[in-house]
Amino acid sequence: MNNQDQPLVFEMSTEGRIGYSLPEMDVEAITLKELLPADYIRIEEAELPEVSELDIMRHYTALSHRNHGVDSGFYPLGSCTMKYNPKINENVARFSGFAHIHPLQDASTVQGALELMYDLQEHLVEITGMDQVTLQPAAGAHGEWTGLMMIRAYHEANGGTKRTKVIVPDSAHGTNPASATVAGFETITVKSDEFGLVDLEDLKRVVGDDTAALMLTNPNTLGLFEENILEMAKVVHDAGGKLYYDGANLNAVLSKARPGDMGFDVVHLNLHKTFTGPHGGGGPGSGPVGVKQDLIPYLPKPVLVKKDGQYMFENDVPQSIGRVKPFYGNFGINVRAYTYIRSMGPDGLKAVTENAVLNANYMMRRLAEYYDLPYDKHCKHEFVLSGRRQKKLGVRTLDIAKRLLDFGYHPPTIYFPLNVEECMMIEPTETESKETLDSFIEAMIQIAKETEENPEIVQEAPHTTVIKRLDETLAARKPILRYQS
């Protein structure tokens, strides 16, 4: 990364330069004045930059040098599954027959696209152990909301209008309670026990005839498998509630345990995590939702069906929760995920989880001597460490994260889950080599030693990045959210 400040593209603008090549105007050009009333016509031009094509390429190349991706280096951001993004996926998604088709074309002209979607749904049904899948939700949070709306529709159709509460563990992702709210539910928190798992007694206490659903990630955000899952499912089902599976951590259990076999009624997946749709700097993602038989009538419209060898969309779904997104989901991401699944096959997916779990356990054991390990048992695809030992020496987890930047690593997820003090949540993924893991471990050990011997170097990190720690308070207190000349 270079240390020069990169000007904003607006600051590079020079009147008279252009970076475009519009088609020739080959028909009679009538002036706007003759076509539109005067007050409809824009007077002040939008102040967009005026730059040449090379200016543009240099600008964004410079910006890319100021950005860390999986291709730049190790990215063990817990709960985000920052695995390698295969390049074949990018090529396939750009095939003209996938990239340049319109969602409202006649179904007979897009049979290839529909076949891919249908086959992806079938693959996801088998992988999750559910009965049917919709590809419509655009991202994980969108899938959560979709799933909860279906649960609400199910209860309302079955006389459960008083089921207004959704139970989430205290270790849950923040999206879970947020999605429950926007789906019209109230959130109840269930505690974790001393082993980091849902406290079964507390669950029994909060479950009741007002329970709509329990939302759960399994393995949970501590990277621990909820061993009592069948008992929990029974408690919730006996009370008339439904079980919701947040698929953020599916990378931990491919071919090892399926949500459908654990008693879950609804599942969302994050295709951009487990199935290598790239994270794109924060999206686009894709959040398909799978359901069991009794929730199928409530799936969002339209539903993709196959009749006499032809694929088509069915809009006549009377009990559907309606449309959750224009068109049919983030098709381009679904193409990438499909390509990945077909590249891996059943044995490949099994090896994915086995390696992801092996890597996480290896790192956890090697780091346990230097950092507190709050839950000392086999983890799944990720694990949490606590920086409380270092905190006593004046070094916070935030400092450790910033120091890791000097070694060229993206730090782990920090201060989450909320129930672990000074938390670091580390997810190596299966695509990293032992050499990479060892180098990261060495860096973490060095930071632990620095904390004891020379804490300033950690507290004042980062030292090598293009910019030092930023004043976030200033950003929030005096917001500057756009460029002004």
Partner 1 sequence: MTKHRYLPMTDQDQKEMLDAIGVSTIDELFSDIPKSVRFQGEYKIKPAKSEPALIKELTKLAGKNADAKRYASFLGAGVYDHYQPIIVDHVISRSEFYTAYTPYQPEISQGELQAIFEFQTMICELTGMDVANSSMYDGGTALAEAAMLSSGHTKRKKILISSTVHPESRDVVTSYAKGQRVEVVEIPHHDGVTDLAALQELISDDIAGVVVQYPNFFGRIEPLKDIEKIVHEQKAMFIVSSNPLALGALTPPGKLGADIVTGDAQPFGIPAAFGGPHCGYFAVTNKLMRKVPGRLVGQTVDEDGKRGFVLTLQAREQHIRRDKATSNICSNQALNALAASVAMTALGKKGVKEMAVQNIQKAHYAKKALQAKGIEVVFEGPSFNEFVIKLPASYREINDRLFAKDIIGGYHLGLTYPELQDHMLVAVTELRTKEEIAAFVQELGDSHE
Residues between 379 and 398 with contacts to partner 1, criterion CB under 8 A? none
Shortest approach of partner 1 to residue 221 CB, angstroms?
12
User: Any contact of residue 280 with partner 1 (CB under 8 A)?
Assistant: yes
Shortest approach of partner 1 to residue 165 CB, angstroms?
11
How do 211-216 and 165-169 pair as beta strands? parallel
User: Any contact of residue 32 with partner 1 (CB under 8 A)?
Assistant: yes
Per DSSP, 268 falls in state E
From the list 78, 121, 134, 140, which residue makes contact with partner 1 (rule: CB under 8 A)? Answer: 140
Taking alpha carbons only, the member of 267, 306, 349 closest to residue 119 is: 306
Taking alpha carbons only, the member of 147, 117, 103 closest to residue 287 is: 147
From the list 234, 256, 306, 449, which residue makes contact with partner 1 (rule: CB under 8 A)? Answer: 256
The answer to whether residues 209 and 179 touch, using CB atoms and an 8 Å cutoff, is no
* Rounded-to-integer distance, Cα 259 and Cα 250, Å: 9
User: Any contact of residue 161 with partner 1 (CB under 8 A)?
Assistant: no
* Rounded-to-integer distance, Cα 277 and Cα 81, Å: 11
User: Any contact of residue 309 with partner 1 (CB under 8 A)?
Assistant: no
Q: Which two tokens stand for residue 355?
A: 């390696």
Shortest approach of partner 1 to residue 42 CB, angstroms?
5
List the interface residues with partner 1, window 182-221 (CB under 8 A). Answer: 182-184, 186-187
How do 186-190 and 211-216 pair as beta strands? unpaired
The Cα-based distances of 308 to 102, 114, 305, 419 in angstroms read 24, 14, 10, 53
From the list 191, 204, 342, 389, which residue makes contact with partner 1 (rule: CB under 8 A)? Answer: 342
> Exposed, middle or buried: residue 301 (CB in 10 Å: 0-12, 13-18, 19+)?
middle
Q: Which two tokens stand for residue 5?
A: 């400040």
From the list 204, 237, 378, 389, which residue makes contact with partner 1 (rule: CB under 8 A)? Answer: 378
Distance separating the N- and C-terminal Cα atoms of the chain: 27
From the list 47, 209, 294, 376, which residue makes contact with partner 1 (rule: CB under 8 A)? Answer: 47
Q: Which two tokens stand for residue 262?
A: 């654990």
User: Any contact of residue 401 with partner 1 (CB under 8 A)?
Assistant: yes
Q: Which is nearer to partner 1, 123 or 372 (CB)?
A: 123
Which stretch in 30-38, 157-165, 203-211, 445-453 sits in contact with partner 1 by CB under 8 A?
Answer: 30-38
Shortest approach of partner 1 to residue 410 CB, angstroms?
6
User: Any contact of residue 101 with partner 1 (CB under 8 A)?
Assistant: yes
From the list 74, 78, 116, 206, which residue makes contact with partner 1 (rule: CB under 8 A)? Answer: 116
User: Any contact of residue 100 with partner 1 (CB under 8 A)?
Assistant: yes
